[in-house]
Amino acid sequence: MSRRAAVGLALVIIVGSGCGRSVQTVNAPFDAAGGTASGPSSGLWGDGSSGPTGMHIGCIKGRRFAVLVTAHNRTKRTITVLAGDGPQQFRDVIERVAVQVRLAPAPLKGDLIQIGLRSWTARNSAPVAIPAGRDAWVQSNLLMRNCGSLRRDETLTVNRSITLTYRAGGSKGTQAISVTGARIVLHPGPLHPSLPINHVG
């Protein structure tokens, strides 16, 4: 092999290897950070306790409810969240109608709390870039419909996880995020609630 041919072959190998790295798939870039927020809630709507194992919520036709979880980008790359979705077993009773994703602000010093929950909306958010080491706020907006189909002693556990579709460089992937405290244990609420049930924010 001539010297010129050898140099050309080496250049092809270097360029090919570089292209391979640029489209390398990033698997499971997010960690569930554990923090959750939800609302609105009221004991007058049949809501019960909330804790690390989930929240007990009364089902009322037309009720809007939102749950927010935090996902931490554990990689050294910027990850763009394209959408949030996932399987919904009981969508005739309660349906996730939209997912809003936002870049969470950098953590504040001290014990100051940053509120991530925003007004309920039926529109999905646009893609958002989450830089390395930063958090994404992922808000599921849920709508309750056929609550009358629940027996008085029946409960449904929903919102067990949310699947994020993301892009990293030239590749796409999906990852299911599960936060136990964000699970909803749904049971029949009052037939005639005494407070508005269709607003968050």
Predicted confidence (pLDDT) at residue 13 exceeds the cutoff of 60:
no
Q: What is the reported pLDDT for 14?
A: 32
pLDDT in tens, 107-162: 777 555 677 899 999 999 999 999 999 999 999 999 999 999 999 889 999 999 99
Across the range 64-73, mean pLDDT stands at: 96
Residue 93: strand, helix, or coil = coil
Question: Average per-residue pLDDT in the chain?
Answer: 85
For 58, the token pair is: 């009364």
Place of tokens 């989450």: 130
Across the range 181-190, mean pLDDT stands at: 94
| pTM for the full predicted model | 0.82
Report whether 99 contacts 85 (CB < 8 A).
Answer: yes
Residue 81: strand, helix, or coil = strand
Q: What percent of the chain has pLDDT over 70?
A: 84
Report whether 130 contacts 76 (CB < 8 A).
Answer: no
Q: Domain map of the chain by residue range? A: 24-188
Q: What is the reported pLDDT for 24?
A: 67
Across the range 82-86, mean pLDDT stands at: 94
The rounded distance, in Å, linking the Cα atoms of 162 and 14 is 40
For 146, the token pair is: 């056929």
Q: What is the reported pLDDT for 125?
A: 96
121-128 — which CB contacts under 8 Å span 24+ positions? 122/97, 122/98, 123/98, 124/83, 124/84, 124/98, 124/99, 124/100, 125/99, 125/100, 125/101, 127/80, 127/81, 127/82, 127/83, 127/167, 128/80, 128/81, 128/101, 128/102, 128/103
Query: Which carries the bigger pLDDT value, residue 6 or residue 150?
Result: 150
The rounded distance, in Å, linking the Cα atoms of 60 and 57 is 9
Angle CA 130–33–103, to nearest 5:
25
For 17, the token pair is: 């290897």
Q: What percent of the chain has pLDDT over 90?
A: 64
